[in-house]
Chain A
Amino acid sequence: MTIYSLYIFDRHCDCVYYQDWHRTSPIRSPPITNFKPGVHRLQPPLSLNQLNDNQNIHVRESIFSENNNVINRTSLVSNGTSIDQNQNTKQNKLSLPKGLPFDEESKLVYGVILSLRNMVKKLSGREEAFTSYSTSSYKLHLFETPTNYRFVLLSDPSSDSLRFVLRQLYVGPFLEFVIRNPLINVDSRTEGIDNDQFRAAVDRHVKGLSMFS
């Protein structure tokens, strides 16, 4: 039993939050043009770093040492092409880890959810969404809030329904640290909802689950 990752989509179909735990498939940072701050803690693209240095744009930085671990693990999976990435990031832009860029992956996730959701709606003739789907290697759980936020959790395929977890995340950390946080622009199209307290609370909650291991 394990939990792989969490996505939160807002009503504009954009991913506003991403966090992962046990995933082994590589993911890389989106290109600079599609980079949206405040969503994930993937290593920002090179040019953005430079931008940061030069123009002092505010980008939230990771507070988790684990975040670096993610990237290290990613590097190992991608056959060492990017072992030296951490040292060479500034110089060698070509040695990015393999895998989909984050923006494309989140679009795929959202696309699958949307089409499956529409199909289910059409088939049942009612206003209802699917609650989960599974493949041989993972299971995706979907929870929709009345305000059209969509919480998506990827777990291993044998787990029971985890919608209650998503609901807990919604009524707990999300309301506490996002909705009640005046510094978060909840309907922004340019920024995510990431903040240290929210991330820490989500992390604590997920790691406290019995199926997390």
Chain B
Amino acid sequence: MTIHGLWVISKAGGLVFSRSYSDVLPPQPVNTILTLAGILHGIHAITAKLDPAPIPGTPTGGLESFEAEGWGGKVFLTPTGTKFVVLHSLPQSGLEELMRRIYEIYSDAVMKNPFHTPEMPINSALFDTKLQTLMSSMNA
């Protein structure tokens, strides 16, 4: 499995971080990704509404993953509303574990950084390097 890219989407639907880790998917201008992240945020909300068999009393979850030809995306929603979107190759395995690792790195390098403002773009060299290490090990 190859990891093509990672986005972090804030609670309000704004893109706060995006990196590409392979050249399989063509590079996109930041503005495009910004728009796409907003769209994904909207899709996430609507997909939760379309649940054909909701269990009464439990909240319905939104989009968790999507698949195209040869690649796919995985959405991880934290309890606080931040979304991690990983674009990956198919077939995939171990994505759950990867998501947990990313969440861990995020809590360490972003949330514990006093210079990070919540909901604002992530500007942490530590976050970047730690992710780079993780992704290189995944893509190796």
Interface residues of A (CB under 8 A from B): 2, 4-5, 20, 22-25, 100, 105, 108-109, 111-112, 115-116, 118-120, 122-125, 128-138, 140, 154, 156-157, 161
- CA A119 to CA B9, docked complex, whole Å: 15
Q: With A25-B54, A116-B43, A124-B68 in contact, is A135–B36 under 8 Å at CB?
A: no
| Cβ contact within 8 Å between A105 and B25 | no
- Minimum Cβ distance to chain A for residue B16 (Å): 18
- Minimum Cβ distance to chain B for residue A170 (Å): 18
Name A157's closest neighbour in chain B (CB-CB).
B64
| Cβ contact within 8 Å between A132 and B43 | no
**Total residue contacts A-B, CB cutoff 8 A:** 102
Contact with A along B60-80 (1 / 0, CB 8 A): 111111111101000000000
| Cβ contact within 8 Å between A108 and B67 | no
- Minimum Cβ distance to chain A for residue B87 (Å): 7
- CA A120 to CA B73, docked complex, whole Å: 9
Which residues of A are found within 8 Å of B48, using beta-carbon distances?
Answer: 135
- Minimum Cβ distance to chain B for residue A208 (Å): 20
- CA A128 to CA B69, docked complex, whole Å: 7
- Some 15 contacts from A to B, beta carbons below 8 A apart, are A24-B52, A24-B54, A25-B52, A25-B54, A108-B46, A115-B39, A119-B40, A120-B66, A120-B68, A122-B28, A123-B87, A131-B68, A134-B65, A135-B63, A140-B47
Within 8 A of A (CB), among B22-68: 25-26, 28, 32, 36, 39-40, 42-43, 46-55, 60-68
- Minimum Cβ distance to chain B for residue A213 (Å): 13
- Minimum Cβ distance to chain A for residue B56 (Å): 8
Dominant SS among interface residues on chain A: mixed
- CA A22 to CA B67, docked complex, whole Å: 24
- CA A5 to CA B53, docked complex, whole Å: 10
- CA A53 to CA B65, docked complex, whole Å: 48
- Given known contacts A135-B61, A156-B53, what 16 new A-B pairs fall within 8 Å (CB)? A5-B52, A20-B52, A22-B52, A25-B51, A25-B54, A100-B49, A112-B50, A115-B39, A124-B71, A133-B65, A137-B51, A137-B53, A138-B52, A140-B50, A154-B50, A157-B64
Residue in B36, B53, B65 whose beta carbon sits within 8 Å of that of A123 in the complex: B36
Residue in A120, A124, A133, A137 whose beta carbon sits within 8 Å of that of B60 in the complex: A137
The 7 A-B pairs with the shortest beta carbon distances in the complex, nearest first, are: A136-B61, A133-B66, A4-B52, A23-B52, A125-B26, A24-B53, A130-B68
- CA A118 to CA B66, docked complex, whole Å: 13
| Cβ contact within 8 Å between B53 and A23 | yes
Q: With A24-B52, A119-B39, A130-B68 in contact, is A124–B25 under 8 Å at CB?
A: yes
- CA A132 to CA B47, docked complex, whole Å: 12
- CA A157 to CA B62, docked complex, whole Å: 12
Central interface residue in A5, A24, A105, A129, by most chain B CB within 10 Å: A24
- CA A123 to CA B86, docked complex, whole Å: 12
Which residues of A are found within 8 Å of B51, using beta-carbon distances?
Answer: 25, 135, 137-138
Name B62's closest neighbour in chain A (CB-CB).
A135
